[in-house]
Structure 1
Amino acid sequence: MSETNKTQLPLLPLRGLLVFPSMVLHLDVGRDKSVHALEKAMMDDHHIFLAAQKESSVDEPGVQDIYRIGTMAKVKQMLKLPNGTIRVLVEGISRGEIVQFIEEEDQFVVEVQEFKDVHGDENEEKALMRSLLEQFEQYIKISKKISQETLATVLDIEEPGRLADIITSHLTLKVKDKQELLEMEDIKERLQHLIKLISNEKEVLNLEKKIGQRVKKSMEKTQKEYYLREQMKAIQKELGDKDGKSGEVGQLLERIEKADMPERIEKVAKKELDRYEKIPQSSAESSVIRNYLDWLISLPWTKQTEDNLDINHAEKILDEDHYGLEKVKERVLEYLAVQKLTNSIKGPILCLAGPPGVGKTSLARSIAKAINRNFVRISLGGVRDEAEIRGHRRTYVGAMPGRIIQGMKKAETVNPIFLLDEIDKMASDFRGDPSSAMLEVLDPEQNSNFSDHFIEETYDLSKVMFIATANNLGSIPGPLLDRMEIISIAGYTEVEKLHIANEHLLPKQIKENGLTKGQIQVKEEAMLKLIRTYTREAGVRSLERQLASLCRKAAKLIVSEDKKRVVITEKQLETLLGKPRFRYGRMEEEDQVGAATGLAYTTAGGDTLSIEVSLYPGKGKLTLTGKLGEVMRESAQAAFSYIRSRAEELGIPTDFHEKNDIHIHVPEGATPKDGPSAGITIATALVSALTGRPVKKEVGMTGEITLRGRVLPIGGLKEKSLSAHRAGLTTILMPADNEKDLEDIPDSVREGLTFIPVSHLDQVLEHALAGEKNESN
């Protein structure tokens, strides 16, 4: 450091600020010591020493809080402000160092030693100046805080030390960094350090610029979205939508509170609504949540209809809508009676089983009408996917609840009559087993907490009265069948069909075809012939179609020929409907050898089945035709084995199987046939063919046979009896173990048939075969 004369000067400590030589700026002075120092300077020669504080937060700095190196300056101007502060204009003259503190009490007076810049190689300093100016110019372009006029002023400076000081004064550096530059007396070192600082500042500014651009883009996007949202709100408001989504949220909240949900469900709904409000309308999840909320609101949670427990009223409604079906009606009335006594009962799960067209679905509607409940029907035919019952998870595209929850939404109450139509037609594949999902629905112990994948929250189905319908119980899985109370509807007798046609079907078709009761009349004998020869079914669906056809033809006659009234007689049926399709009474016209009439149970009700046996020379080969199932083939083998073991007692040559081939055929070969009830019919036909004794034409039979000749019980006796009655048979041979089922058969059928219980094949042959044993055979 080059030494010069020492001088005493008042000290003005600066906070967060540094003054360089050749620098002119205004200062606001307010602290007592600083004011006294300033007054002393003004009283002397206007010279003062400016030094920066190490920490700007210190209000009353001590000797240790002030940097030793500062700037000797001259006070150019002083102005007292109204608030007591003094504003001064100072100009930096040269660098100086505090050698000694002379006074510290009232004001700071210090002894200062001035020092000058130390120059080096002139060319090197010029090169550094150029580099510094280039860096500073770039800094100005990036920063944009320093004007181009400042750059022009700086470019005119030729002295390197002064250039460094002026540039430093314009930079936004920390006081510590500026102080470091102030303390450097070597010009070369000062220029190099300043170039390094500017370079660093440039990097920081570039980073700031990038961040600023990113923030600006983000802000622009946000502002744009805000602007568009505000525009949308204004448009929606003009169109009548109060506040767009906010108005929609308010409406949803109101609907949630009115839906009378359980507390836990309402809590879930409000939580989802809160999410919905925060998610942008354009988001895919927004529509998912909205859909979910709509389902929660639309479902009935507590609303229910009050049951009409008047048994007489219910009985009247059921009788008006359906003729017969006493067992079903009795079960419904029992349910009402129990509910009236207990005031609370879990909904029963009934399964109406029977052939098509017997009125299973319409009966369920009548039950709903009788007890004043809402009615909802879902068809399960062809359902293969478990999600059809339990619904899909909300995360899937197009997800929705299962058919059970959909049905409850349609029902609008928690206690409807819920018809599960065609429950036997459900199937299973790789998508799951829907019948297993139905177990929870139809179990009274579980369905109070039914779980749907879409709704997620449990739903109470315990108050629902489920009624299922099925054509074939054999195709329903055992566990599912076990949960239902089976009520069989076998079919209608001829008398019942006549009553149903006259009381229900004909009036309905007259109305639907635009006729009046006075315009058409169907005579009783014509109706009977229609039932016997134009339809062959357990139910009345085909009968209704034929009556509809008659009404249409009558309407045509009335319109085209201007007739006032059409009376349909037995003779006119063929003119209107064509030749009869069926021959009434399928029994043989005379006793036949090797042909017996069996009784079968099919999905369409009962039917008669003719079994024929033919013998021809051969070596005992047994041929079975007629598309027989495995069970019927085994029945034929068992019958054949039994006859071989009892050949002598039956009057059959013991070597018959060595001389004859036997062919057993069941006509209508295109129709598959199977079931465990053809054993005694096959055996009877075999014995008839081997003995030459004819089978009585009026006898029908049903029952399975064992190798010892025992007759085993069968199912569907009621349906089989109805088919025998339709076919004109008069005698039924049935297993003795089935006597208990006779009470299910309508009185009109029992009166026209003779039922003979049998327990052994010998009894069957005794009643079925005509004539005596042919010993010569």
Structure 2
Amino acid sequence: MEEKKNTLVPLLPLRGLLVYPTMVLHLDVGREKSVQALEKAMVDDHLIFLTMQKDIDIDDPAEEELYKIGTLTKVKQMLKLPNGTIRVLVEGLKRAKFIELTEEDGYYAATLEIMEEDTSKDVEDEALMRTMLQYFEQYIKISKKISNETYATVSDMEEPGRMADIIASHLPIKLKEKQKILETLDNKQRMNQVIDIIHNEKEVLSLEKKIGQRVKKSMERTQKEYYLREQMKAIQKELGDKDGKSGEVSTLAEKIEQAGMPEHVKATALKELDRYEKIPSTSAESSVIRNYIDWLLALPWSNATEDDLNIKKAEKILDQDHYGLEKVKERVLEYLAVQSLTNSLKGPILCLAGPPGVGKTSLARSIAKSLNRNFVRISLGGVRDESEIRGHRRTYVGAMPGRIIQGMKKAGTINPVFLLDEIDKMSNDFRGDPSSAMLEVLDPEQNSNFSDHYIEETYDLSNVMFIATANNLATIPGPLRDRMEIISISGYTELEKIHIAKDHLLLKQIKDHGLTKGQLQIREDAIQQIVRHYTREAGVRSLERQIATICRKTAKMIVSEEKKKIILTSKNVEEFLGKPIFRYGQAELEDQVGVATGLAYTTVGGDTLQIEVALAPGKGKLVLTGKLGDVMKESAQAAFSYIRSKSEELGIDPKFHEKFDIHIHVPEGAVPKDGPSAGITMVTALVSALSGKPIKREVGMTGEVTLRGRVLPIGGLKEKSLSAHRAGLTTIIAPKDNEKDLDDIPESVREELNFILVSHVDEVLKHALNGSVNS
């Protein structure tokens, strides 16, 4: 058979296998591309190019991941096995190199350059062949793994290159070495390589035999375990490691003594160390035990920081870092005062609950700073696996402790401030319930004996001050919420935001953008305009981003336009931030019929909600739109039923449901809305639409309604009041039972809002509508 100098044939990449010319070999083929290449070869001339891939773990190797030089082979037989793979018998023909690789229909095709070999033989070739054959015979006698028939077959060969290939294929050498021999065209060079490899393998076998004989002398007074120990010592002696593990074990034992562990933990550590010493380093269990001992040593068992119980200093630090948040600061100072008196207070579990951007995480850092404690934070957002909290058992591959123990290792002391960020974002699935695992962590009566599956020994968490943060308390399971002291951070007033921007955000952003105070000045009226017209949030993250935008534009102007100083006032804010994003105050410009302003409480703070009612001729069909939840739909039904039952008292045609279809819509239809507090707002909007009386534009309302017209209390009045204040409303109608919540509203907001507390819908309509409803 003759091959062309350059020919295009299918390519089959090999994993952990190599075929030399003249070799006949069975291959099992299972990959899709390889099967396609085989089928193409069988259709054409049975020729296929075999080359090794550099990384055997890759399923679909690219061109650069294949060795360029391989073997052109002929497919002799092909058999499909029951398991879906194909068994192929191939015969190596010639060395070849692929010049170009193209991807055909589901397989690689290679443009080959056939590498012709020199078949001539001189005296030096003859001498090298004899030496190689002699070395190979000696190797066979020592190893006893290669049959004499193989030697007989090799010794009958006349071609030097072929002899070198066949001998190399029988040697237990690395694939890279075999590939190197395949890539060597010169016969003399190839035989020299094979001679060097055989000589090296003979030395290794002789050394193994020598080690075995040395160990055998000590066998008389020991059993199998002692034999294994002596063999290990003999190997270490040959490698030059005289001490073996003994030096490492003594160092670890010393560290265990100095770690300050409780007695039961210390006993476990020493027991594991004894096992570690007995197990060979090559054993997989050896590394598992070593990792376990390292974790026990890395954990703080007795190392603690000394609390700084100076209350005035702590108050100063908290005031410097945070404006407002008086309740939280007061709670921390109370904790310090009690600890200074008792010096034995168990760590309290605080939960800072509030919208994003109000400073929950940074407040926890300030608490750690004021207490002079180490601070560690773990994020629980998206944690679904119980083992994330409790760790994995050591029987699993890749096992490691849970996040609590990892956090303690990072803290380095037994009494850090430990922040559990986003505790409301945990969820459960088939891998367990992480919130249930947190119950033990956050119970001061139980966490002195916290058990991690990996560590197994109990660990004392009672000295840790745990602080959790959450956006939405409703998603935290009841038993877990019961273990924490909830401190609500509702959001900032406009005045507080201006202070925070002046005293904190502006200075931070100027520094981060490489500016100085002299290069950028933002006047208070400009900050007020940014707060009113460019942000609408409970926290201050958007405000910080807007200030960062101003800093970036200032930096550009200083660098490109060579300006030395930028002063931002309310007049030139638009030059930096563009047109206002929000209209300050969402209150309607005039009184509207059938449009009521409700107050809502979301996970990102309070917000205002417009509820619109439209009438159309019909037969009393009630249509609800705006992506309303079940509770809100039920509020609408209750409002509709209440108006039907009280239609005459309200001055509405009793047969309105036979004349009109009623459509209730809450704008921003893409945003899900739910909750019972829209009840009185829906009643007011319906009565306004049916009676034709407009609703006062400056009035916002919140409250749940019953079929008898009673107004029931709601939650989140503080957040709702802040949103009403932001929206420019001046009057708030709220349930009478929420009077206790008025004290939580900042005084600056309370002074600008008129609160009307009601217990019945009649009072709501009296204050919300222009004119009497039954007139």
In 2 relative to 1, CA 611–266 (structure 1 residues): closer, same or farther, beyond 3 Å? same
Q: Once the two structures are superposed, what CA deviation does each residue of 1:478-506 show, in whole Å capped at 9, x if it has no partner?
A: 11011111000000000000000000000
Correspondence for 1:119: none
After TM superposition, the structure 1 = structure 2 runs for residues 263-302 of structure 1, keeping only pairs within 5 Å, are 263-302=263-302
Correspondence for 1:229: 236
Quick one: which amino acid aligns to residue 388 of structure 1? E
Quick one: which amino acid aligns to residue 407 of structure 2? G
In 2 relative to 1, CA 345–330 (structure 1 residues): closer, same or farther, beyond 3 Å? same
Partners of 2:740 and 2:464 in 1: CA distance: 34
Shift of 1:541: 0.6
Correspondence for 1:707: 707
Q: Aligned with 2:676: secondary structure?
A: coil
Shift of 1:577: 1.5
In 2 relative to 1, CA 285–221 (structure 1 residues): closer, same or farther, beyond 3 Å? closer
Correspondence for 1:191: none
Correspondence for 1:259: 259
In 2 relative to 1, CA 379–221 (structure 1 residues): closer, same or farther, beyond 3 Å? closer
Partners of 1:253 and 1:532 in 2: CA distance: 65
Correspondence for 1:50: none
Correspondence for 1:613: 613
After TM superposition, the structure 1 = structure 2 runs for residues 616-695 of structure 1, keeping only pairs within 5 Å, are 616-695=616-695
Shift of 1:220: 9.7
- Check the 8 A contact 2:324/2:496 in 1, yes or no: yes
Q: Once the two structures are superposed, what CA deviation does each residue of 1:431-484 show, in whole Å capped at 9, x if it has no partner?
A: 000000000001111111100000000001111111000000000111101111
Q: Once the two structures are superposed, what CA deviation does each residue of 1:529-576 show, in whole Å capped at 9, x if it has no partner?
A: 111111110000111111111111111111111111111122322221
Partners of 1:457 and 1:334 in 2: CA distance: 34
Quick one: which amino acid aligns to residue 226 of structure 1? K
Correspondence for 1:158: none
TM-score, normalised to structure 2, is: 0.70
Quick one: which amino acid aligns to residue 248 of structure 1? E
Partners of 1:714 and 1:537 in 2: CA distance: 21
Larger radius of gyration, structure 1 or 2?
1
Correspondence for 1:376: 376
Shift of 1:613: 0.3
Quick one: which amino acid aligns to residue 448 of structure 1? S
After TM superposition, the structure 1 = structure 2 runs for residues 553-564 of structure 1, keeping only pairs within 5 Å, are 553-564=553-564
- Check the 8 A contact 2:355/2:604 in 1, yes or no: yes
After TM superposition, the structure 1 = structure 2 runs for residues 204-603 of structure 1, keeping only pairs within 5 Å, are 225-232=232-239, 234=240, 236=241, 243-603=243-603
Q: Once the two structures are superposed, what CA deviation does each residue of 1:630-683 show, in whole Å capped at 9, x if it has no partner?
A: 110111111111111110000001000111000000000000000110000000
In 2 relative to 1, CA 667–223 (structure 1 residues): closer, same or farther, beyond 3 Å? same
Quick one: which amino acid aligns to residue 570 of structure 1? S
Partners of 1:627 and 1:230 in 2: CA distance: 77
In 2 relative to 1, CA 579–515 (structure 1 residues): closer, same or farther, beyond 3 Å? same
Partners of 1:220 and 1:446 in 2: CA distance: 49
- Check the 8 A contact 1:692/1:774 in 2, yes or no: no
Partners of 1:657 and 1:753 in 2: CA distance: 37
In 2 relative to 1, CA 686–334 (structure 1 residues): closer, same or farther, beyond 3 Å? same
Moved over 6 A (4+): 215-223
Partners of 1:535 and 1:579 in 2: CA distance: 12
Q: Once the two structures are superposed, what CA deviation does each residue of 1:31-61 show, in whole Å capped at 9, x if it has no partner?
A: xxxxxxxxxxxxxxxxxxxxxxxxxxxxxxx
Shift of 1:221: 8.1
- Check the 8 A contact 1:390/1:451 in 2, yes or no: yes
Quick one: which amino acid aligns to residue 558 of structure 2? I
Partners of 1:642 and 1:301 in 2: CA distance: 65
Partners of 2:658 and 2:313 in 1: CA distance: 71
Partners of 2:520 and 2:691 in 1: CA distance: 56
Correspondence for 2:765: 765
Shift of 1:222: 7.4
Quick one: which amino acid aligns to residue 384 of structure 1? R
- Check the 8 A contact 1:533/1:581 in 2, yes or no: yes
Partners of 2:742 and 2:611 in 1: CA distance: 25
TM-score, normalised to structure 1, is: 0.70
Partners of 1:588 and 1:516 in 2: CA distance: 43
Q: Once the two structures are superposed, what CA deviation does each residue of 1:206-228 show, in whole Å capped at 9, x if it has no partner?
A: xxxxxx99x99999987664332
Correspondence for 2:196: none
RMSD across aligned positions (CA): 1.7
Quick one: which amino acid aligns to residue 589 of structure 2? E
- Check the 8 A contact 2:236/2:244 in 1, yes or no: no
After TM superposition, the structure 1 = structure 2 runs for residues 75-86 of structure 1, keeping only pairs within 5 Å, are none
Shift of 1:525: 1.4
Quick one: which amino acid aligns to residue 278 of structure 2? K
Partners of 1:626 and 1:222 in 2: CA distance: 77
- Check the 8 A contact 1:594/1:612 in 2, yes or no: yes
In 2 relative to 1, CA 561–655 (structure 1 residues): closer, same or farther, beyond 3 Å? same
Shift of 1:578: 1.6
Partners of 2:773 and 2:431 in 1: CA distance: 62
Q: Aligned with 2:612: secondary structure?
A: strand
Q: Aligned with 2:486: secondary structure?
A: strand
Structure 2 residues not aligned, in runs of 5+ = 1-215
In 2 relative to 1, CA 286–759 (structure 1 residues): closer, same or farther, beyond 3 Å? same
Q: Once the two structures are superposed, what CA deviation does each residue of 1:672-718 show, in whole Å capped at 9, x if it has no partner?
A: 00011000000000000001000000000000000110000000000
Partners of 1:453 and 1:682 in 2: CA distance: 53
Q: Once the two structures are superposed, what CA deviation does each residue of 1:61-102 show, in whole Å capped at 9, x if it has no partner?
A: xxxxxxxxxxxxxxxxxxxxxxxxxxxxxxxxxxxxxxxxxx
Quick one: which amino acid aligns to residue 503 of structure 1? D
- Check the 8 A contact 1:506/1:547 in 2, yes or no: yes
- Check the 8 A contact 1:621/1:661 in 2, yes or no: yes
Q: Aligned with 1:616: secondary structure?
A: strand
Shift of 1:725: 0.3
Quick one: which amino acid aligns to residue 560 of structure 1? S
Q: Aligned with 1:725: secondary structure?
A: helix
Partners of 2:705 and 2:227 in 1: CA distance: 91
Shift of 1:773: 3.4
